[in-house]
Chain A
Amino acid sequence: MISLTSPTKIWAHRLPAGVKLAALPLTTLALFAVSAPAPLGLACVATAALYLSAGPLFARAGITSLRPLWPFLLVIALWHGISGEIAAGLTISLRLINAVALANFVTMTTPLSDMIAVLSWLLTPLRKLGLSTRAIELSIALVIRFTPALTHKGERLAEAWRARARRRPSWKIITPMAALALDDADHVALALRARGGLEPPPTSPPNPSSFPK
């Protein structure tokens, strides 16, 4: 599965993922603490410079990833255009663009493996408490493996529908899709149990002398 990490490698890819992920919420909180358009505009310029420092290709990808925001910006523009509170509208829009752009920047410059490493590190306290985090790590792997598989099965159900009906596939293919997901889950559960299940592996190898000769 394709992750949203940018294929164009830039300097920010080399920064430790933990540093980027710690800086992001702090910066976002700071953006929300400011409520005047001028400093937020400056912050926007800084964010734009961050993107441009990575080259035009990366910057263009950054703009594309902001596209889902336009309906909201339109609503804000209309709302504040009618009510006349232009400064407030500008503050909200600039803050929104900035916060989303910064979060996208971290996602674009942090590979999935680094993200998972940070998540695993965050779970360390649970392991220290004696809880197994294998279940979490395993389920992440399972979702990554089975999302394309289930999507493929859904596409085949839709094809089968189109072969039989003139109309487009309806919600009726969701029931068999969910049933297939349940079947897959049963097979996965059996396979996991057959391979020793989720019990943590023995820490020390069993003493050979304890086996009967």
Chain B
Amino acid sequence: MERNIARIALFAALIAALGFLPAVTLGFGVPITAQSLAVMLCGTVLGAKRGALAVLLFLALVALGLPLLAGGRGGLGVFASPTVGFLVGFPIAAFTTGLIVERWKGPLPLVASVASIIGGVVVLYVFGAMGLALMLGKTFPEAALLVTAFIPGDIIKAVLAGGITSGLAKARPDSLLSRA
């Protein structure tokens, strides 16, 4: 019980901490926020249920007024902004990612990457585009068009999440609750 709570809380803190680190760059010098990568990691490392709980905890703190989203954003305003769909999609993305890693017992780097793409990109962007469509009064395909530019970067993050997950599995062998 205590161990689960501690891991959920520390991964919620990890999502926030990775949003604060601007120094992380991709190979070709594009600065990215690793926040959505952290959401994928919640799923691949903690598993479906605990991963989603960690993301929900993080969102609860954002709603309470802490500036934990990348770029120092937070408060209730972000839940009224056009990107609200991505926030709603975050816990569902972590849940889907975790569920795939739990069920598909293939080689970890591959499974975690594919799970992150399905959960952290496909599922997340469906919710993100739905939110955008609702808030900006557009149809779903129109909204999806507006976010396509960000998809390649997030696919790269999903593949990195796969590598990081298998790295963690080697560094802390009993840490992968999704495969426990």
Contacts and interface: CB of A to CB of B under 8 A. Distances in A.
Which of A75, A103, A178 is most buried by chain B, counting CB atoms within 10 A of its CB?
A178
Interface stretch (B72-80, B87-95, B106-114): B72-80
B12 A143 contact: yes
A170 B24 contact: yes
A126 interface: no
Interface of A: 1-5, 24, 28, 65, 68-69, 72, 75-76, 79, 88, 91-92, 96, 99-104, 106-108, 110, 112, 115-116, 119, 135, 138-140, 142-144, 146-147, 149-151, 153-155, 158, 168-171, 173-179, 181-186, 188-189, 192-193, 197-198
Contact of B6 (A92, A108, A186): A186
B39 interface: no
Interface of B: 1-3, 5-14, 16-18, 20-21, 23-27, 29, 34, 37, 41, 45, 57-58, 60-61, 64-68, 71, 73-77, 79-82, 135-138, 146, 160, 164, 167-168, 171-172, 175
Contacts of B136: 72, 75-76, 92, 96
Nearest to A71: B82
A169 B23 CA distance: 6
A1 B66 contact: yes
List the 7 closest A-B pairs by CB distance, nearest first.
Answer: A107-B75, A142-B9, A103-B76, A150-B17, A104-B77, A146-B13, A185-B10
Contact of B79 (A92, A103, A182, A188): A103
Contact of B164 (A28, A68, A101, A175): A175
A116 to B, nearest CB: 6
Which of B2, B27, B61, B171 is most buried by chain A, counting CB atoms within 10 A of its CB?
B2
Given A173-B24, A197-B1, A3 B65 contact: yes
Contacts of A154: 17-18, 20-21
